[in-house]
C-alpha cells in the first residue's frame, strides 16, 4: 500500500514537471524574456510571433526595463524579436516603431549580445537584450563671401571645422558648405567663429532657433520642425576686415 502511494506521488510530480515545460506529451514551451537598456522615452513596441508589447520607460531614470512576452514559444519554433513593422535583416535596417527621439536595437556588447532571432530549444532559455540610444542629427550650413584662408567654425567646445574658400566666384557668393558633425536630440548647439580668415571678418547671420546659429536639437516627433534632417540653415557671412 505504501509503495503504491509513493508511486502515485512520483507520477503526480512528474506530470506537474511536464506541465511546467509545456504539458505531458506535448512540446516544451519557452518564455521570451526581454531586457531593454537606456530607454528614456515612450513609443517603443517590440514584436514577435504575433505578439506586440509596448515598452515604457522605467520609473527610475536610467534603470533597465525587463518583461516577458505574454505567450511562450514551442520547441523548434522560430522567434524574431524586433520593433513592430521593422526588419533587421535588411541593410539598412527598417527600424519599425521606435521610442521617441531614440533608436533601439539588439545589444551587440558582450555578454549581452544574445541573438534576437533563433529557434526555441537552441539555448536553455530565451533572453533578448536591447539597448536604446539618443538620436543625433547633422549641424550644417554655408559660408558666404569667403575669400581668405584660415576660417575655423566651432560648435561650443564639442566640434570645430576649417572652411576652405572656393576659387569659383559663383560659389563664393552662394556659399561654401560646412558640417559640424551631429548633435544629440535635446542638446544645445551654438555655431561661433573660432578663428577669423585672413583679411576678412565673418559672423553668423542666420539659422538655428535664435537666428544666430544657436538652439536646441529637435526632431520630427509630431511637433518639431526639423524632420530628422537636423539643423541645415546656418549661414555665416564674411566681408572685408575693417
Q: Comparing C-alpha atoms, which of 197, 200, 101, 213 is closest to residue 154?
A: 213
pTM for the full model? 0.81
Whole-number average pLDDT of the chain: 89
N-terminal to C-terminal alpha carbon distance within the chain: 112
Torsions phi, psi for 18 (to 5 deg): -65, -40
Q: Comparing C-alpha atoms, which of 240, 136, 149, 147 is closest to residue 179?
A: 136
Tens-digit pLDDT profile for residues 76-110: 999 999 999 999 999 999 999 999 999 999 999 99
Q: What pLDDT was estimated at residue 27?
A: 87
DSSP code string of 57-106: PPSSTT--EEEE-SS-EETT-EEE-EETT-BTTSSS-B--S--TTEEEEE
* 132-141 b/e (C-beta count within 10 Å ≥ 16 → b): bebbbbbbbb
Tens-digit pLDDT profile for residues 149-201: 999 999 999 999 999 999 999 999 999 999 999 999 999 999 999 999 999 99
Amino acid at each position: 500500500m505504501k509503495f503504491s502511494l509513493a508511486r502515485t506521488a512520483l507520477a503526480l510530480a512528474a506530470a506537474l514537471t511536464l506541465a511546467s515545460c509545456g504539458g505531458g506529451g506535448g512540446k516544451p514551451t519557452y518564455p521570451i524574456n526581454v531586457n531593454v537598456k537606456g530607454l528614456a522615452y515612450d513609443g517603443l513596441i517590440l514584436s514577435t510571433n504575433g505578439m506586440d508589447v509596448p515598452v515604457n520607460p522605467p520609473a527610475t531614470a536610467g534603470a533597465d526595463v525587463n518583461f516577458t512576452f505574454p505567450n511562450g514559444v514551442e520547441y523548434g519554433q522560430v522567434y524574431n524579436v524586433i520593433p513592430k513593422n521593422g526588419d533587421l535583416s535588411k541593410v539598412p535596417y527598417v527600424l519599425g516603431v521606435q521610442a521617441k527621439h531614440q533608436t533601439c536595437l539588439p545589444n551587440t556588447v558582450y555578454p549581452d549580445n544574445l541573438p534576437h532571432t533563433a529557434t526555441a530549444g537552441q539555448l536553455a532559455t530565451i533572453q533578448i537584450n536591447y539597448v536604446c540610444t539618443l538620436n543625433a542629427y547633422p549641424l550644417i550650413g554655408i559660408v558666404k563671401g569667403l575669400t581668405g584662408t584660415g576660417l575655423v567654425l566651432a560648435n561650443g567646445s564639442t566640434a570645430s571645422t576649417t572652411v576652405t574658400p572656393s576659387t569659383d566666384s559663383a560659389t563664393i557668393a552662394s556659399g561654401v558648405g560646412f558640417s559640424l558633425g551631429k548633435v544629440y536630440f535635446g542638446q544645445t548647439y551654438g555655431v561661433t567663429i573660432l578663428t577669423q580668415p585672413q583679411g576678412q571678418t565673418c559672423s553668423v547671420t542666420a539659422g538655428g532657433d535664435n537666428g544666430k546659429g544657436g538652439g536646441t536639437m529637435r526632431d520630427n516627433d509630431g511637433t518639431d520642425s526639423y524632420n530628422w534632417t537636423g539643423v541645415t540653415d546656418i549661414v555665416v557671412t564674411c566681408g572685408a576686415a575693417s
